[in-house]
């Protein structure tokens, strides 16, 4: 089974609204990362949050991490049509060396 | 900028053919990875390599092998392609140490007929 599971699987919002997606994982992690994938393309790294951090910001992105609940959230504020993509969380587990384990992703559609 | 280049964007192969997917990175990364991505299943790790000539199985290595003769190049080999290997294949690389951010290629769409 996958280490990370995103929720919801799909999200449709209007331009200007905020988009929030969640990621849950099962075992202890070193860090958690969020990646974005435009349709049919490779993944691009967005933001990383370490296990000892609770919140991190980068531009219009806000990531939170709750290690007690083994969950993270990604918030995209003031969304734009160009934010339409799939978003994946990925975890680096303490016992897994350099391997990243990805969740199934959240497909976000931002309607103009 | 880091660049991970996958040699073929789209391939169509016949069942039973031997298939090579090539990947090159230009940032002297120690680690390289091959994932496959299927609808509803997310990204699954096939193999990874943390050094030249070193390889480790990922979560779904069956039916695949890999080769890493040079640091910058990591090849995925399908010895005898089957229709259930029709998928998008993603190569990635990263530094050892640091925070394990990985960099992806654009993907190779393989169709086995």
Asked if residue A40 has pLDDT above 70, the reply is yes
A110's tokens: 């931002």
Backbone φ, ψ for residue A83 (5° rounding): -80, -5
pLDDT of residue A1: 36
Strand bridging mode A10-14 / A106-111: parallel
Please report the beta strands in B1-113, taking only residues with DSSP state E, as ranges in sequence order: 4-6, 10-13, 19-25, 31-38, 42-49, 56-57, 65-70, 73-78, 87-94, 103-104, 108-112
- From chain A, the residues in CB contact with B43 under 8 A are 43, 88, 102
Per-residue confidence (pLDDT) for residue A34, from 0 to 100: 96
Q: Kindly report the number of other CB atoms within 10 A of residue A80's CB atom.
A: 12
Compare all CA atoms of chain B with the CA of A42 and give the residue at the minimum distance. Answer: B106
Enumerate the residues of chain A whose CB falls inside 8 A of the CB of residue B10.
none
- B-chain CB neighbours of A48 within 8 Å are 99, 101
Nearest alpha-carbon partner for B98 in B30, B24, B26: B30
Range scoring the smallest mean pLDDT among A59-63, A108-112, B42-46, B75-79: B42-46
Q: pLDDT tens digit string along B10-44?
A: 999 999 999 999 999 999 999 999 999 998 788 99
Do residue B100 and residue A40 have CB atoms under 8 angstroms apart? no
Q: Which residue of A has its CA nearest to B6?
A: A42
Average pLDDT score over residue span B69-78: 97
């Amino acid at each position: 089974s996958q280490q990370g599971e995103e929720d919801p699987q799909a999200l449709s919002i209007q331009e200007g609204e905020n988009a929030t997606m969640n990621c849950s994982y099962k075992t202890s992690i070193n860090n958690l990362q969020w990646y974005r994938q435009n349709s049919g393309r490779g993944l691009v790294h967005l933001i990383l949050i370490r296990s000892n951090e609770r919140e991190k910001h980068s531009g219009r992105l806000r990531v939170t991490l709750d290690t007690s609940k083994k969950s993270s959230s990604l918030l995209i504020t003031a969304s734009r049509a160009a934010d339409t993509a799939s978003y994946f969380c990925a975890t680096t587990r303490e016992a897994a060396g350099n391997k990243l384990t990805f969740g199934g992703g959240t497909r976000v559609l931002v309607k103009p | 900028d880091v660049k991970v280049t996958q040699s073929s964007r789209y391939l169509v192969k016949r069942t039973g053919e031997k298939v090579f997917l090539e990947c090159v990175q230009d940032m002297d990364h120690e680690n390289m990875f091959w994932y496959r991505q299927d609808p509803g299943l997310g990204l699954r790790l096939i193999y990874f390599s943390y050094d030249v000539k070193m390889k480790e199985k990922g979560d779904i290595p069956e039916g695949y092998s890999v080769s890493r003769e040079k640091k910058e190049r990591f090849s995925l080999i399908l010895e005898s392609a089957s229709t259930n290997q029709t998928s998008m294949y993603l190569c990635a690389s990263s530094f050892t140490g640091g925070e394990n951010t990985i960099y992806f290629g654009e993907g190779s769409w393989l169709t086995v007929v």
